[in-house]
Amino acid sequence: MESIQLSKRLKRVASYIPNNARLADIGSDHAYLPCSLALKGDLEFAIAGEVVKGPYDKALNEVQSRNLEEVIEVRFGDGLEVIESSDHIDTITICGMGGALIRDILTRGLSLNKLNRTETLILQPNVGEKTLRTFLMSEQYKIVAEEIIEENDKIYEIIVAIPVEEDIVYSDHALTFGPYLSEQSSDTFKKKWEQVLDKLAYVKNQMNKSQHPDERKLEKINQEIEHIKETIQ
């Protein structure tokens, strides 16, 4: 059976999934991530969860055409509701969505007792990383790894978190920039924040064209610009 060429983004996500994981890939679309791992014999079991019929059908087709039904179950449902306690899931991937949506999926999963708070979370928000880090902190998840990559002119962040007993406290700086990413300060990290600076400069410019610019908002933007500049210097 032909192997699957994962995108660079999903390859990096896959690199954080332990060997022989029991994985729930939520918002799996084509189920490329679990299929690729299963073809290499790296998975014990996986759920490919989808809430939209088209992607669900594609995932089902991918799994069936590769004869992977014994390892991967494609399940239709909203977020973590596709997980049963008897699945003994130990790793959850939620990738390619906004940070707020990932947070909402996890919040609902917690309220439905779909998380037993032992699972490693491997999250790849397309936007809203601060929202997601803030949620992880408030739910006592410790960020244990982060990565920032560029693919096809888009920049993506990957956040790996585990549940812990102790309180987790991240500064506003760490929540905004990422505790590891800001330390590493890679070229891709700098590029991302230079793009944010460009956007803020544009917003500021537009606001200054107004006869009565909102001074408090302008002040906030100026502070944000300074904070970013100090961080990527």
224 binds ligand SAM (CB under 6 A): no
Q: Which two three-digit tokens encode residue 76?
A: 């239709």
Size of the site for ligand SAM (CB under 6 A): 17
Report the nearest approach of ligand SAM to the CB of residue 107 (Å). 11
Characterize the bridge pairing of strands 120-125 and 154-163.
antiparallel
Q: Which is nearer to ligand SAM, 105 or 175 (CB)?
A: 105
Residue in the shown chain whose Cβ atom is closest to ligand SAM: 27
Q: Which is nearer to ligand SAM, 10 or 71 (CB)?
A: 10
Report the nearest approach of ligand SAM to the CB of residue 128 (Å). 14
73 binds ligand SAM (CB under 6 A): no
Part in contact with ligand SAM (CB under 6 A); list of ranges 26-34, 66-74, 197-205, 218-226: 26-34
Out of 4, 27, 73, 160, the residue judged to bind ligand SAM by CB under 6 A: 27
Report 45-64 residues binding ligand SAM (CB under 6 A): 49-52, 55
Pattern 82-121, ligand SAM, x by CB under 6 A = -------------xxx---x---x----------------
147 binds ligand SAM (CB under 6 A): no
Of 48, 84, 82, the residue nearest 68 (C-alpha): 48
Of 91, 85, 46, 90, the residue nearest 68 (C-alpha): 46
Report the nearest approach of ligand SAM to the CB of residue 26 (Å). 5
Q: Which is nearer to ligand SAM, 101 or 228 (CB)?
A: 101
Q: Are 204 and 219 in contact (CB under 8 A)?
A: no
Which residues would be at the binding site for ligand SAM (CB under 6 A)? Answer: 10, 26-29, 49-52, 55, 78-79, 95-97, 101, 105
